[in-house]
């Protein structure tokens, strides 16, 4: 029995299992020391190959070729490689060109594959318009994504990055807990007014008492 896995060239294979042994002659160099034939269920007609330290270049179509005496068959399969990157990091800086109180917020992340999707969301979950830069760096950094928007310092905003192939999302939000809501400001002003009136009444009573 001979089982061979190859990607494009049948003469330069990914892995070969022949008569109970794994062969290494003519193995594609990029798969050297990275493959293992999974033969636990070979008696049931099931066999597989494990590829270790997966790289982006491993993405593609593969062929499994089976030969036993006068029997010959093959099957094709597709390997899709995907990676989820780092948690988004948001940096805030002053924006001198915008109105007072506005800042530039930049969201960055790397380690994504394939190309991720970046979106800014306001406090109600609505998508904000923004320019997104996506660059493929190398086989380690993979895709790097960044985007900037101009926002009021007290406007809540979330940066969300998605790998749609894996249906995985990472997001980070800006902390605006230091900002006061309008109703909080109104309540504070009302409170101070009540205190001032109470103090004035007490002062009048005190003065009246000693007249």
Query: How confident is the model at residue 192, as a pLDDT?
Result: 45
For the ranges 24-33, 70-79, 179-188, which has the lowest average pLDDT? 179-188
SS3 label, residue 42: helix
d(CA 58, CA 1): 26
Q: What is the mean pLDDT of the chain?
A: 84
The reported pTM is: 0.71
**How is the chain split into domains, by residue range?**
2-79, 89-173, 180-211
Helices (H), the chain: 182-209
d(CA 92, CA 58): 38
Tell me whether domains 2-79 and 89-173 share a fold: yes
SS3 label, residue 187: helix
Phi first, then psi: what are they for 19, rounded to 5°? 55, 45
Query: Which CATH class, in words, describes the domain spanning 89-173?
Result: mainly beta
d(CA 107, CA 115): 16
pLDDT one-digit tens code per residue, 35-80: 999 988 888 888 899 999 998 889 999 999 998 888 889 999 999 9
d(CA 162, CA 178): 29
For the ranges 70-74, 126-130, 186-190, which has the lowest average pLDDT? 186-190
CATH architecture of the domain with residue range 2-79? Sandwich (2.60)
Cβ neighbourhood burial of 77 (10 Å; 0-12, 13-18, 19+): exposed
């Amino acid at each position: 029995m001979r089982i061979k896995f190859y990607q494009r060239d049948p003469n330069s294979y990914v892995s070969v299992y022949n008569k109970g042994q794994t062969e290494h002659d003519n193995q594609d160099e990029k798969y050297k020391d990275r493959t293992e034939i999974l033969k636990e269920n070979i008696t049931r007609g099931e066999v597989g190959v494990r590829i270790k330290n997966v790289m982006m270049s491993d993405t593609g179509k593969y062929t499994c070729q089976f030969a036993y005496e006068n029997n010959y068959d093959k099957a094709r399969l597709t390997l899709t490689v995907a990676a989820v990157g780092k948690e988004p990091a948001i940096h805030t800086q002053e924006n001198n060109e915008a109105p007072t109180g506005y800042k530039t917020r930049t969201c960055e992340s790397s380690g994504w594959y394939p190309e991720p999707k970046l979106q800014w969301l306001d406090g109600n979950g609505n998508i904000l318009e923004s320019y997104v830069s996506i660059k493929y760096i190398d086989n380690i950094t993979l895709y790097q994504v960044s985007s900037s928007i101009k926002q009021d310092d007290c406007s809540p905003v979330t940066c969300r990055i998605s790998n749609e192939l894996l249906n995985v999302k990472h997001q980070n939000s800006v902390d605006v807990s230091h900002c006061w809501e309008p109703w909080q400001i109104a309540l504070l002003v009302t409170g101070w007014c009540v205190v001032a009136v109470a103090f004035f009444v007490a002062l009048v009573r005190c003065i009246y008492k000693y007249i």
